[in-house]
């Protein structure tokens, strides 16, 4: 069993850290807002007042932070200076693939090891330890991280070298945003026709239109329940990663560009703190109605 420093105990990091405790690991959590360490401590973990305090004595440093600058600041400004040689860094955050590759190289140059392990499955997946985890890194490092990854996920796949996990995660975020946008349009369309919406959702879910997005988001859209979940602000960040990574590879992604604009419009309308299912509010506005 490992001693795990876990930095970033938000919507995803909190339940993931508690699952690591349940799997028998000694977990020392740190979060910018210190009150978020409380559930971890109640579950049998420990709280640290700083990143350095959490990392001291840890075999593994796990990160679940919002964005590339957050991960870069925590690693280069704090973890890299205090982690013991050989420490394994597992970055669960969703960040830019090029930043992940660069940080893994910097870690290696300092005698540390780093893998990128972004996740999919949402808040429910984190709470049920049922995440899908796309892992980029060296074979031996991924093998060493496996017990930790298996404690929070059910589909854990090594997809390539450092950064590869983030590339697959960017594709994941494109597919999810596109699905949500189409689901929102379909529901507004059905409503305009006076369709029986719960009946329509039930039968759509059993055919080719069925999806995890439909299962998790349709009812929320019908109820107007947009509490996060996965915030529009974070999906806006991810659509930026998709468009930048597509551009750098010379890949043309017209639907991604359109969906990125819909996500940006949702944010511009003041809905950045809502769940990404709030794309339904943007589609409602586009149709001349007030959500």
Residue from 3, 11, 190, 243 in contact with ligand NAP (CB under 6 A)? 11
Sign of CA dihedral 115, 116, 121, 122: positive
Q: Which stretch binds ligand NAP (CB under 6 A): 27-35, 80-88, 97-105, 214-222?
A: 27-35
Residue from 64, 88, 170, 242 in contact with ligand NAP (CB under 6 A)? 64
Query: Which residues on neighbouring strands pair with residue 155, listed in sequence order?
Result: 132
If one asks whether residue 90 binds ligand NAP (CB under 6 A), the answer comes out as no
If one asks whether residue 12 binds ligand NAP (CB under 6 A), the answer comes out as yes
Q: Which helix (H) or strand (E) segment is 171 a member of? A: helix 164-192
For ligand NAP, give the closer residue by CB, 234 or 274: 234
Asked if 217 is an active-site residue, the reply is no
Q: Which stretch binds ligand NAP (CB under 6 A): 28-36, 79-87, 135-143, 212-220?
A: 28-36
Helix (H, G, I), strand (E, B) or coil at 28: strand
If one asks whether residue 229 binds ligand NAP (CB under 6 A), the answer comes out as yes
CA distance linking residue 138 with residue 115, whole number of Å: 7
Residue from 2, 87, 123, 284 in contact with ligand NAP (CB under 6 A)? 123
Q: Which stretch binds ligand NAP (CB under 6 A): 53-61, 96-104, 229-237, 247-255?
A: 229-237
Question: Is the peptide bond prior to 229 cis by the omega test (within 30 degrees of 0)?
Answer: yes
CA distance linking residue 119 with residue 107, whole number of Å: 21
CA distances from 129 to 11, 97, 168 (A): 13, 25, 20
Angle, in degrees to the nearest 10, between helices 164-192 and 232-249: 120
Cβ–Cβ < 8 Å for 151, 130: no
Q: How many Cα atoms sit within 13 Å of 272 on the Cβ side?
A: 8
For ligand NAP, give the closer residue by CB, 200 or 221: 221
* Total residues in contact with ligand NAP, by rule CB under 6 A: 26
State which residue has the least CB distance to ligand NAP: 10
**At its nearest, how many Å lie between ligand NAP and the CB of residue 191?**
26
Residues that bind ligand NAP (CB under 6 A): 7-13, 30-33, 36, 64-66, 70, 74, 93-94, 119-120, 122-123, 229-230, 234
């Amino acid at each position: 069993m490992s001693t795990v420093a876990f930095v970033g105990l938000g919507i995803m990091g909190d339940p993931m850290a508690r699952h690591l405790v349940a799997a028998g690991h000694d977990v020392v959590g740190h979060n910018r807002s210190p009150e978020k360490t409380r559930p971890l401590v109640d579950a049998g973990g420990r709280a640290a007042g700083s990143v350095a305090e959490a990392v001291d004595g840890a075999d593994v440093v796990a990160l679940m932070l919002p964005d590339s600058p957050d991960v870069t600041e925590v690693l280069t400004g704090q973890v890299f200076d205090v982690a013991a040689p050989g420490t394994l860094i597992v970055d669960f955050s969703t960040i830019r693939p090029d930043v992940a590759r660069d940080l893994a190289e910097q870690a290696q140059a300092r005698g540390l090891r780093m893998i990128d392990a972004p996740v999919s499955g949402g808040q429910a997946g984190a709470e049920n330890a049922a995440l899908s985890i796309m892992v980029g890194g060296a074979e031996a490092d991924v093998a060493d991280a496996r017990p930790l990854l298996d404690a929070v996920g059910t589909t854990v796949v090594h997809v390539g070298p450092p950064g590869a996990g983030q590339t697959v995660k960017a594709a994941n975020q494109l597919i999810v945003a596109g699905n949500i946008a189409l689901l929102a349009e379909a529901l507004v369309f059905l409503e305009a026709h006076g369709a029986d919406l719960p009946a329509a959702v039930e039968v759509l879910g059993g055919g080719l239109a069925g999806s995890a997005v439909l299962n998790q988001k349709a009812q929320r859209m019908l109820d107007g329940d947009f509490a996060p979940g996965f915030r529009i602000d974070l999906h806006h960040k991810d659509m930026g990663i998709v468009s930048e990574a597509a551009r750098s590879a010379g890949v043309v992604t017209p639907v991604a560009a359109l969906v990125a604009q819909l996500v940006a419009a949702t944010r511009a309308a003041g809905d950045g703190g809502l769940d990404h299912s709030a794309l339904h509010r943007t589609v409602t506005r586009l149709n001349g109605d007030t959500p």
